[in-house]
Amino acid sequence: MTPTHSLQILISQQEIQERVSILAQQISQQYQNRPLTLLGVMTGSLFFLTDLMRHLTIPHQVGVIQASSYEGNSTEPGRLRTNLDYLPDLKNRSILLVDDILDTGQTLESIQKEISCLTQQDVAKAVLLWKKSRTQTQIKPDYLGFEIDDKFVVGYGLDYADDYRYLADIHTLQFSRRTP
């Protein structure tokens, strides 16, 4: 049997852009007199990070963190791997972690702990999507795009086996089996 995938739009490109604009306004007001560094959790946050940066009305710096707990075709998280080697100087800067999705919370919680050791400031979190029903930690986003049900989603940076990131909308990805 050959697996097939079907896509259904969950959140449109227009809805995403409207929400990112609102989040950027909130962040701009909150950090208007503080030095801000956005740290995008790669690779899923790439679209969200870029659009958020475009909408911010305050000066800010940007860095990226490589983090992954999904390998290949897996839809379940495994061991977290992070790379903080290329971060900018975070001393005396407000930090905003930017991630595509808050699922179990383990990745974001782990990264937040690592980053907190590098700065004297609080580390806030902005996530585009939150699967609140799956969260297993006490972590909560400070800035939230959308709360979603426990469905596998792709598009706007989110992937399945490194595919579908390029989609402008966020889609649910449904798996089915097709006979040969």
Identified catalytic residue from 103, 122, 150, 159: 103
Is 80 or 128 the better-scoring residue by pLDDT? Answer: 128
Catalytic residue at 103? yes
33-43: pLDDT as tens digits: 999 999 999 88
Is 135 or 2 the better-scoring residue by pLDDT? Answer: 135
Contact 119, 90 (CB under 8 A): yes
Would 111 be classed as within a structural domain?
A: yes
Would 180 be classed as within a structural domain?
A: no
The average confidence (pLDDT) of the chain is: 89
How many domains does the chain divide into? 1
Structure-block tokens of residue 53 = 């940066």
Confidence of residue 77 (pLDDT cuts 50, 70, 90): low
- Is the pTM above the cut of 0.85? yes
Query: Residue 32 has what pLDDT?
Result: 94
Would 54 be classed as within a structural domain?
A: yes
Query: Residue 117 has what pLDDT?
Result: 84
Q: With a cut of 50, say whether residue 170 has pLDDT above it.
A: yes
Q: CA-CA distance, 38 to 177, in Å (whole number)?
A: 41
92-105: pLDDT as tens digits: 899 999 999 999 99
Q: With a cut of 80, say whether residue 51 has pLDDT above it.
A: yes
Confidence of residue 1 (pLDDT cuts 50, 70, 90): very low
Mean pLDDT of 7-26: 98
Mean pLDDT of 13-33: 97
Q: CA-CA distance, 172 to 9, in Å (whole number)?
A: 6
User: Which CATH number do you get for residue 26?
Assistant: 3.40.50.2020
158 half-sphere exposure, CB direction, 13 A CA radius: 24
- Structural domain containing residue 131: 14-67+82-148
Would 155 be classed as within a structural domain?
A: no
